[in-house]
Structure 1
């Protein structure tokens, strides 16, 4: 069993799915807390939960998923900027998609949030792999 887990860990796609799931939990958990107990409007809650998830995702994608090595602060900062710019594109999809699903399609807020997460997760993988962490130590 341990051999299977180690083999799976060497595949960046499997690591991305695992840490992407963790990022989704950060996103959905914070969204639920901000919207629920704190009573913040779902649009504002959505924005802040996505922003927090982006920060979390950068760290886990750099360190664990793509195992990116940077030789200087400047190089790491450039990587962070590329990551954030890529995530801002998908953040627009999510921040616009949730209200679209809620207000136009009349879906429950959490269902709308989950649906947009699927789209965003797939697009983010390709942005990270080919535009952000393109010269990394992680195996495909």
Structure 2
């Protein structure tokens, strides 16, 4: 697969992951009235699971020959996403609770940084 095709697939899957993340976040904040930070944490966890499956299958088309390889790959992916989750949760907290921005605007702004970081980590660390 060409690098251009991979990036296009990543952007599409990343967009879907962001959509899952933001929709869950908005639903929990606006419909269920769950605290912003708790809603953000839960929505990110759901998005991480969605992202692993879709990136593995559709973007990087990574194959594992045994369960140990799969576990190693999943651990790297989840660990990297937990790291970027800190950036996301901290960024949303800063933008919404400290600066006073709208919840969805703050969430979308952090998604740009997270999307780029996650691609680089997935490409060069997880699915290499």
Q: Name the TM-score, length of structure 2 as normaliser.
A: 0.96
Q: Does 1:109 align with 2:112?
A: no
CA offset at residue 103 of structure 1?
Answer: 2.1
Q: After TM superposition, where is structure 1 displaced by more than 4 Å over at least 4 residues in a row?
A: none
1:71 to 52, 65, 71: 65
Give the superposition deviation at 1:66. Answer: 0.3
With CA pairs under 8 Å and 6+ residues apart, which has the higher RCO, 1 or 2?
1
Structure 2 match to 1:131: 125
Which of 29, 43, 46 in structure 2 is aligned with 1:35? Answer: 29
Matched residue, 1:26: 20
Residues of 1 paired with 2:97 and 2:21: CA distance?
21
Please identify, of 53-62 and 96-105, the stretch whose mean Cα deviation from structure 2 is larger: 96-105
Q: Which whole-Å CA distance do the structure 2 matches of 1:68 and 1:38 have between them?
A: 37
Give 3-state SS (helix, strand or coil) of 2:101's partner. coil
* Structure 2 SS opposite 1:11: helix
- Match of 1:71, SS state, is coil
| Structure 1 counterpart SS, 2:33 | coil
In 2, Cα distance between the equivalents of 1:30 and 1:113?
12
What residue ranges of structure 2 are gaps of 5+ in the alignment?
none
CA separation in 1, counterparts of 2:72 and 2:5? 25
Aligned residues: 128
Runs (5+) with no aligned partner, structure 1 = 1-6, 135-140
Q: TM-score, normalised by structure 1?
A: 0.88
In the alignment, which residue of structure 2 is the partner of 1:12?
A: 6
